[in-house]
Structure 1
Amino acid sequence: MGAFQMLGKELSKLTEKKGVLFSLIGVLLIPVVYVAVLLSATWGPYDNLDNLPVAFVNNDAGAESGGAPINVGNDLVADLKKNPSLGWNFVSKEEAEKGLKSQKYYMAIEIPEDFSRKVTTVLDANPEVAEVIYTQNEGLNFMAAQVTKSATEKIREQLGNKITETYTKTLFARFGDISNGFASGADGSSKLYEGTANLSAGTSQLLQSLNEKSGDIQKLASGAKTAEDGASQLLSSIKGGEKDIKRLAAGSKEVVQGIDSLKAGSDQVLNGLKTVSTGSTTLSTGLEKQLKPGAEQLAGGMAKVTESTKTLSGGSQGLTEGLKGYLAKHPELATDVEFMTLVGTSDAITKGLAQFDQQVQPLKQGADALVAGATQLTIGSKQLDAGINQLVEGQTAANAGITRLKTGANQVANGNATVASSWTKIGNAVNDLKAGLTQISDGNQTVAVGWETMTLGVTSLNDGANQLQSGSQELQTGLAGGADQVSGIQVSEANITKFSNPVSFKGETVNSYNYYRDSTAPYIISLALFVGILILSFIVDFKRPVTLPGSLFSWYASKLMQLSLFAIAQGLMVSLFSLFILKLQVNNVGLFILFTIFVSLAFMSIIFFLVAIGGNIGRFIALAFIVLQLSTTGSNLPIPMLPENLQALSKFLPLTYSNAGLKAVISLGDPGFMMANAFVLLICLVAFLVLTFIVFAVSYKHVARYIAEKNQVAEATV
Structure 2
Amino acid sequence: MKSLSVFFNDLKASFKKPKVFIPIIVVLFIPVLYSGMFLTAFWDPYGKMNELPVAIVNQDTGANYEGKSLEVGKDLVEELKKSDDFSWRFVTREEADKGMENDEYYMTIVIPEDFSSKATTLMNETPEPAQLIFEPNEGYNFLAAQIGGTAVKEIKSKVSAKVTEAYTETLFDQVQEISGGLGDAGDGANTLKEGAVKLDDGALKLKENLAKLVDGTTQLQSGISPLKDGVGSLSQGAQELQNGSSTLASGLDQLTAAGAQLEEGAVKANAGGKQLQAGLQSSLEGANTLSAGLKSSEEGSAKLVAGLQSSVDGTGKVSEGAKAVAQGLEQLAKASPELAENPAVQKLLAASQAVATGSEQVLQGQQQLLQGSKELNGAQKQLLQGSQKLAQGQEQLVQGATQVTAGQEQLAAGLKQFNGKLSEAATGGKKLAEGSGKLNSGAQQIQSGMDQLSGGVGTIASGSKQLDSGAGELKDGMEKLTEGSGELATKLNEAADQTSSVKKTDALVNMYAQPIEIQEHKVDPVPNYGTGFSPYFLSLGLFVGALISTLVVPIRGSSTQEATGWNRFVSRMLAFSSMSLIQALLAAFVTLYGLGLEVQSVPLFYLFTFVTSLCYMFIIQALVTWLDNPGRFIAILMLIFQLTTSAGTFPIELIPNWMKVFNPWLPMTYSVSGYKSVISSGQFGITWSHMGILMIFGLVFLALTLVYFLRHDRNEEVGNEAVLSA
The bucket for the TM-score relative to the shorter chain is: 0.5 to 0.7
Partner of 1:375: 213
Kept after mapping to 1: 8 A contact 2:674/2:691: yes
Please, which of 663, 667, 672 is the counterpart of residue 659 of structure 1? 672
Between stretches 580-589 and 527-536, larger displacement belongs to: 580-589
Percent identity of the aligned residues? Answer: 36
AA aligned to 1:665 is V
**Alignment partners' CA distance in 2, 1:692 and 1:371:** 126
AA aligned to 2:134 is Y
Partner of 1:675: 688
Partner of 1:517: 530
Partner of 2:166: 166
- Is residue 2:28 matched to residue 1:28? yes
Kept after mapping to 2: 8 A contact 1:107/1:135: yes
Q: CA deviation at 1:577?
A: 4.2
Kept after mapping to 2: 8 A contact 1:61/1:114: yes
Kept after mapping to 2: 8 A contact 1:513/1:667: yes
Partner of 1:98: 98
Kept after mapping to 2: 8 A contact 1:606/1:685: yes
Which of 1 and 2 has higher RCO (CA within 8 Å, sep 6+)? 2
The Cα offsets for residues 182-224 of structure 1, whole Å up to 9 and x where unpaired, read as 4454344333322222334566xx5xxxxxxxxxxxxxxxxxx
CA 696–454 in structure 1, closer or farther in 2 if over 3 Å, else same: closer
Q: CA deviation at 1:522?
A: 2.5
Counterparts of 1:82-93 in structure 2, within 5 Å, are: 82-93=82-93
Kept after mapping to 2: 8 A contact 1:31/1:574: yes
Partner of 1:68: 68
Kept after mapping to 2: 8 A contact 1:109/1:134: yes
CA 36–95 in structure 1, closer or farther in 2 if over 3 Å, else same: closer
AA aligned to 1:92 is T
Q: CA deviation at 1:696?
A: 4.5
CA 579–131 in structure 1, closer or farther in 2 if over 3 Å, else same: closer
CA 43–535 in structure 1, closer or farther in 2 if over 3 Å, else same: closer
**Alignment partners' CA distance in 1, 2:182 and 2:717:** 114
Partner of 1:704: 713
Q: CA deviation at 1:93?
A: 1.5
Q: CA deviation at 1:545?
A: 5.3
Partner of 2:419: none
**Alignment partners' CA distance in 1, 2:647 and 2:468:** 96
Q: CA deviation at 1:133?
A: 1.6
Q: CA deviation at 1:513?
A: 4.8
Kept after mapping to 2: 8 A contact 1:549/1:555: no
The Cα offsets for residues 73-98 of structure 1, whole Å up to 9 and x where unpaired, read as 11111111111311111111122122
Between stretches 102-111 and 638-647, larger displacement belongs to: 638-647
Q: CA deviation at 1:585?
A: 3.3
Kept after mapping to 2: 8 A contact 1:64/1:70: yes
Q: CA deviation at 1:110?
A: 1.4
SS in 1 for 2:45: coil
CA 583–646 in structure 1, closer or farther in 2 if over 3 Å, else same: same
AA aligned to 2:160 is G
Q: CA deviation at 1:140?
A: 0.7
SS in 1 for 2:122: helix
Kept after mapping to 2: 8 A contact 1:632/1:647: yes
Structure 2 residues without counterparts, runs of 5 or longer:
221-465, 719-726
Q: CA deviation at 1:690?
A: 3.4
SS in 1 for 2:603: helix
Counterparts of 1:178-197 in structure 2, within 5 Å, are: 178-197=178-197
CA 491–582 in structure 1, closer or farther in 2 if over 3 Å, else same: closer
Partner of 2:19: 19
- Cα RMSD for the two superposed structures: 3.5
Partner of 2:54: 54
**Alignment partners' CA distance in 2, 1:95 and 1:40:** 35
CA 578–116 in structure 1, closer or farther in 2 if over 3 Å, else same: closer
Partner of 2:640: 627
- Is residue 2:131 matched to residue 1:118? no
Give me the TM-score of the superposition, normalised by structure 1.
Answer: 0.59
The Cα offsets for residues 342-369 of structure 1, whole Å up to 9 and x where unpaired, read as xxxxxxxxxxxxxxxxxxxxxxxxx5xx
**Alignment partners' CA distance in 2, 1:381 and 1:25:** 132
SS in 2 for 1:134: strand
CA 46–690 in structure 1, closer or farther in 2 if over 3 Å, else same: same
Counterparts of 1:11-410 in structure 2, within 5 Å, are: 11-39=11-39, 44-200=44-200, 294-295=205-206, 373-375=211-213
The Cα offsets for residues 146-167 of structure 1, whole Å up to 9 and x where unpaired, read as 2211221111111111111122
**Alignment partners' CA distance in 1, 2:160 and 2:549:** 59
AA aligned to 1:153 is K
Kept after mapping to 1: 8 A contact 2:562/2:715: no
Kept after mapping to 1: 8 A contact 2:39/2:534: yes
CA 526–148 in structure 1, closer or farther in 2 if over 3 Å, else same: same
**Alignment partners' CA distance in 1, 2:631 and 2:216:** 126
Partner of 1:573: 586
Q: CA deviation at 1:58?
A: 1.1
Kept after mapping to 2: 8 A contact 1:586/1:666: yes
CA 160–656 in structure 1, closer or farther in 2 if over 3 Å, else same: same
- Is residue 2:594 matched to residue 1:585? no
Kept after mapping to 2: 8 A contact 1:587/1:666: yes
Kept after mapping to 1: 8 A contact 2:35/2:540: no
AA aligned to 1:98 is K
**Alignment partners' CA distance in 2, 1:378 and 1:687:** 122
Q: CA deviation at 1:601?
A: 1.0
Q: Which has the larger radius of gyration?
A: 2
Kept after mapping to 2: 8 A contact 1:43/1:515: yes
CA 19–161 in structure 1, closer or farther in 2 if over 3 Å, else same: same
Kept after mapping to 2: 8 A contact 1:547/1:707: no
**Alignment partners' CA distance in 2, 1:708 and 1:498:** 81
**Alignment partners' CA distance in 1, 2:579 and 2:219:** 136
Q: CA deviation at 1:483?
A: 3.4
SS in 1 for 2:695: helix
SS in 2 for 1:504: coil
**Alignment partners' CA distance in 2, 1:708 and 1:80:** 70
Partner of 1:528: 541
Kept after mapping to 2: 8 A contact 1:548/1:708: no
Aligned residue-pair number: 474
Kept after mapping to 2: 8 A contact 1:568/1:601: yes
SS in 2 for 1:172: helix
**Alignment partners' CA distance in 1, 2:659 and 2:152:** 31
Kept after mapping to 1: 8 A contact 2:168/2:512: yes
